Structure 1
Amino acid sequence: MDAVTLLDATLLPAIAIAVFAGLLSFLSPCVLPIVPPYLAYMGGVSVGDMDEERAARKRVFTAALFFVLGLSTVFIFLGMAVSAVGRAFLQYQDWFIYGAGIIVVIFGLHFLGVFRIGFLQKEARLDAGDRGGSSFGAYVLGLAFAFGWTPCIGPILGAILGLAASEADVARGTTLLAAYALGLGIPFLLVAAFFPRLKGAMAWMKRHMVAIERVSGVLLVTVGVLMLTGQFTALSYWLFEKFPALAVLG
């Protein structure tokens, strides 16, 4: 295995974690419950129209697409920024990793209910004004969503930002935040496209919010421990040993 392949291989576990973290952010208590009315507002329709009219769902899907582009814009720029900072302080990279690992473990223990951090219990929603029913308005709302919900999704987002900073490479850090945006954004598009079929699944998720928070906590603690112990590289070796076909991605 050459050095370039190994370098790329170390990013694969982090990408998988980033996508899964985005999905957990979508399932968080301050995101999932507002998805149907939020999508309906962006599309300029009612929730009932989403349930009954195919044309309405097409409008909502277009709005959802621009919404996801908006939030992805913010997350990708965050990835560029934190990885650039990590690169500028490359000589302190180990300290960055240890510090980020400790913070991520603390966030994970918060989700597991070991203790509660007050400011993480709050939401900070930005008012983007009357933007419903237009693609541009949906894009603006995506920008507002990415900024305004950070207190709620912040622990999970912070873990991915910590990974991006530890990469100390702009392209790799940006890739991680793009993967996070993908994990958060695709469920929005699926709900917009298949709302009637997914109502039951969304109701089940709402009933199991506590379990979802616990899964989030386990993920964060695991990521934090991997960062503190330097096991991402070892995990990459294991992936290549078990799945040699992944070498084509290197």
Structure 2
Amino acid sequence: MLTPDMILDATLLPAMLIALVAGLLSFLSPCVLPIVPPYLAYMGGVSVTELEETRDARRRVLLAAGFFVLGLSTVFLLLGIAFSAMGRALLAYQDWFLWIAGFTIMVFGAHFIGVFRIGFLDREARIEAGDQGGSAFGAYLLGLAFAFGWTPCLGPILGAILGLAAQEADLGRGATLLAIYALGLGLPFLAVAAFFPRLKGAMGFLKRHMARIERISGLLLWTVGLMMITGQFSDFSFWLLETFPFLATLG
């Protein structure tokens, strides 16, 4: 028999799945994927050719990529805590907040699908971290700069996850969602650093299908916004527990 506590715990599960997929789609976005090899090479203090041909260079780049992911995760965790705190403060107005947040996310989704274009979302805002290539601390700084400055390209997808974190209105649960998002965005960086020669073909394929990836991102955003407006997360969570009872033990 399902209890209210079980349903409440399960509401985090679909949000975590969405956060993971959102992180992966952020990595595949047109302003991230194309710059991954030169960015990684710069962080490791090597050339792209060395990254492709030298195993020792890939080890150096993998270490730098780890600190880079740690830097961007730091920012995302802080954002998760901040938005969860905001959600708690606005708990009395949560229905209005969720409707506004959901509607905004649906607008972003329509932009990516191609229903219409929003000018400022087609521009990138980058923060340079100076000449920090080749050091772990420099890679960490670049991770911080990436998380803060790679907007508005990451903004719409990240905004959807921050909206979910605010909906949770719990610091731990909000931080968990942003940690999962950082995982989805960060793991591909580590994979490319470790296996760049093997992944060159796959990355080339993804670059050729950027438009389709962008539409998938838009569909995800539009769906998340609609679920926030209609309260479908609770229904989806109930369905998850009914279909997969073992999930009740994860809460």
- Map of 1:244 onto structure 2: 245
- Map of 2:84 onto structure 1: 83
TM-score (normalised: structure 2): 0.98
- Map of 2:128 onto structure 1: 127
Structure 1 residue 245 displacement after superposition: 1.8
Q: 1:96, 1:165 within 8 Å by CA — same for their partners in 2?
A: no
- Map of 2:15 onto structure 1: 14
2:165 & 2:107 partners in 1: Cα distance? 18
Instruction: Give the number of aligned pairs.
Output: 250
| Code of the aligned partner of 1:16 | L
1:5 & 1:142 partners in 2: Cα distance? 37
For 1:184-217, what per-residue CA distance to the aligned partner results, in whole angstroms no more than 9, with x for missing partners? 0000000001101000000000000000000001
The answer to whether residue 180 in structure 2 is matched with residue 179 in structure 1 is yes
Q: 1:102, 1:224 within 8 Å by CA — same for their partners in 2?
A: yes
Moved more, 1-10 or 173-182: 1-10
Structure 1 residue 246 displacement after superposition: 1.4
1:236 & 1:185 partners in 2: Cα distance? 27
| Code of the aligned partner of 2:190 | L
Q: Please show how residues 147-186 of structure 1 align to structure 2 within 5 Å.
A: 147-186=148-187
SS for the counterpart of 1:152 is coil
SS for the counterpart of 2:30 is coil
1:241 & 1:4 partners in 2: Cα distance? 14
Q: Please show how residues 183-222 of structure 1 align to structure 2 within 5 Å.
A: 183-222=184-223
SS for the counterpart of 1:114 is coil
For 1:9-61, what per-residue CA distance to the aligned partner results, in whole angstroms no more than 9, with x for missing partners? 01100000000000000000000000000000000001111111111100000
1:21 & 1:154 partners in 2: Cα distance? 11
Ranges in structure 2 where 5+ consecutive residues have no aligned partner: none
SS for the counterpart of 1:150 is coil
For 1:121-173, what per-residue CA distance to the aligned partner results, in whole angstroms no more than 9, with x for missing partners? 11111010000000000000000000111210111001111111111111111
Q: 1:13, 1:236 within 8 Å by CA — same for their partners in 2?
A: yes
| Code of the aligned partner of 2:85 | A
Ranges in structure 1 where 5+ consecutive residues have no aligned partner: none
Q: 2:6, 2:248 within 8 Å by CA — same for their partners in 1?
A: yes
For 1:70-119, what per-residue CA distance to the aligned partner results, in whole angstroms no more than 9, with x for missing partners? 00000110010011011011101111111110000000000011111111
- Map of 2:59 onto structure 1: 58
Structure 1 residue 8 displacement after superposition: 1.2
Q: 1:22, 1:182 within 8 Å by CA — same for their partners in 2?
A: yes
| Code of the aligned partner of 2:140 | Y
Structure 1 residue 6 displacement after superposition: 2.0
1:94 & 1:178 partners in 2: Cα distance? 25
2:32 & 2:15 partners in 1: Cα distance? 23
- Map of 2:24 onto structure 1: 23
SS for the counterpart of 2:152 is helix
| Code of the aligned partner of 1:207 | R
2:244 & 2:6 partners in 1: Cα distance? 14
Q: 2:7, 2:241 within 8 Å by CA — same for their partners in 1?
A: no
TM-score (normalised: structure 1): 0.98
Structure 1 residue 183 displacement after superposition: 0.5
